[in-house]
Amino acid sequence: MRTLIKDGTVLSPSGGVRADVLVTDERITAVTEPGVVETADTVLDATGKYVLPGGIDAHTHLEMPFGGTFSADTFETGTKAAAWGGTTTIIDFAVQAKGTSLLSTLDKWHEKADGNCAIDYGFHMIVSDVNDGTLKEMETCVGAGVSSFKMFMAYPGVFYSTDGEILRAMRKATETGAMIMMHAENGIAIDELVAAALAAGHTDPVQHGYTRPSALEGEATSRAITLARVTGAPLYVVHLSAAEALSAVAEARDAGQNVFAETCPQYLYLSIEDLAKPGFEGAKYVASPPLREKRHQADLWRGLRTNDLSVVSTDHCPFCFKDQKELGRGDFSKIPNGMPGVEHRMDLLHQGVVAGEISLGRWVETCSTTPARMFGLYPRKGVLAPGSDADIVIYDPAARQTLSAETHHMAVDYSAYEGFEIAGKVDTVLSRGKIVVSSAGFTGSTSHGNFLSRELCQYLN
């Protein structure tokens, strides 16, 4: 079965060229000058459109347990929504509960995901219980294709690890070549600020932002970088939101340390003003780290241009406004932490291209090529080249759309981007050669996605 995508502008980190892409079964078999291959079983005309490697969202939480509830998207609904938005790979987080093993956690996540994904998927592992057994199991995880481990400097009593525990896990990461991913917020200090706010009767959603100041993200990021330097471990700072944290990352990178960071669309486009919306509306925007003052946004865009921010992921972690965010009415600290976004990352970052914040090349690089290399999936994913999986997005920059909960495909009852006008829209999506989204709608299947056993990060000095 051959599919020819002809007359489009093929994008890569170095920009765009007019080219045709030939797909044979699940792989790309040729990228040629226009017209070289004359016909195929299916011919897709991409005139006036971009042809790019499918998006890779390296940070999602599907069916994630949180305080007695679960994030609202299942692997089925979440991966379908991702496909609608031009994302053809996700890396989701398996969550170790305290007192359980990493390998039983991994089994559990395979049970949830296997056979239920519309696109290919991998896992990171959240380590919340550092002990000799866990450290040993990290090696087995790496062998099983789970080569990155998230730790938390926030949430004391739940996911939090002490500096000593982080140090031990980092040593193991150095030994195995695995990546340590860090939620860098000073949770000990934050918990004091939260308790003080509640004691003073401050219960509204905006308090979530006030009690998690950007300085405490900067402090934790610097500390994580220091621990990584002492141990030699590669470090990837997840969901970076604050200028102070970005400065720390930039300084470490300038010094040649293996430190990387991602940001998320919500930190580029939304702010604490959304958290401060009247009534309980702000609960829709509760995520950690919190939405910041607008002044941080220009720094984050600059970080994307300079590669101090290498990746854009969504931290997709949706909770319904009506029945889940409600848990925190009257106590902001009980609002489930997370926002929906897996469907809109490619569109929102394309807006950054339209606005002149980033180039077309950086759009593809931060949303596909770099996540593939960062997490050991390249060149199978993240590039349109012979031999690569035919995960391909045809994107129409001339189309227009308005984001809304009425039309999105995520299983959540609100949109964080309600009413946003977007220049550009996904036209057609192929996952391993199969057309899964087109003008005919979703034509994939939720048993199509394969588990991706990942190699190590491909950027280490």
Interface with Zn ion in residues 379-418 (CB under 5 A) = none
Instruction: Identify which of residues 158 and 399 has a Cβ nearer to ligand DUC in the complex.
Output: 158
Give me the residue whose beta carbon is nearest to Zn ion.
320
Q: Which two tokens stand for residue 195?
A: 């308790």
Per-residue binder mask for Zn ion (CB under 5 A), 161-190, x = binder = ----------------------x-------
**Which residues lie near ligand DUC (CB under 6 A)?**
61, 183, 238-239, 288, 315, 317, 337-338
The partner residues of 418 in beta bridges, in order of sequence, read none
Q: For residues 370 and 357, give the distance between their C-alpha atoms in angstroms, rounded to a whole number.
A: 18
Contacts of 353 (CB under 8 A, 6+ apart): 359, 360, 363
Phi, psi for residue 364 in degrees, rounded to 5: -70, -40
**Shortest spacing between CB 66 and ligand DUC, in angstroms:** 8
Instruction: Give whole-number Cα distances, 347 to 60, 183, 393, in Å.
Output: 17, 26, 12
Query: Which of 425, 424, 451, 448 shows the shortest CA–CA distance to 435?
Result: 448
- Size of site (CB under 5 A) for Zn ion: 4
- Sign of the dihedral through C-alpha 212, 283, 363, 119: positive
**Shortest spacing between CB 44 and ligand DUC, in angstroms:** 36
Q: How far is CA 259 from the centre of its chain?
A: 17
**Shortest spacing between CB 158 and ligand DUC, in angstroms:** 10
**Shortest spacing between CB 51 and ligand DUC, in angstroms:** 32
Instruction: Identify which of residues 167 and 405 has a Cβ nearer to Zn ion in the complex.
Output: 405
Decide: is 315 part of the binding site for Zn ion (CB under 5 A).
yes
User: 320 touches which of ligand DUC, Zn ion, none (CB within 5 to 8 A by kind)?
Assistant: Zn ion
CA-based Rg of the chain, rounded to a whole angstrom? 21
Q: Which residue has the tokens 């005919």?
A: 440
Count of Cβ atoms closer than 10 Å to residue 407 Cβ: 11
Give me the residue whose beta carbon is nearest to ligand DUC.
288
**Shortest spacing between CB 175 and ligand DUC, in angstroms:** 25
State in Å, rounded, how far the first CA of the chain is from the last one.
41
User: 338 touches which of ligand DUC, Zn ion, none (CB within 5 to 8 A by kind)?
Assistant: ligand DUC
Instruction: Identify which of residues 238 and 377 has a Cβ nearer to ligand DUC in the complex.
Output: 238
**Shortest spacing between CB 160 and ligand DUC, in angstroms:** 11
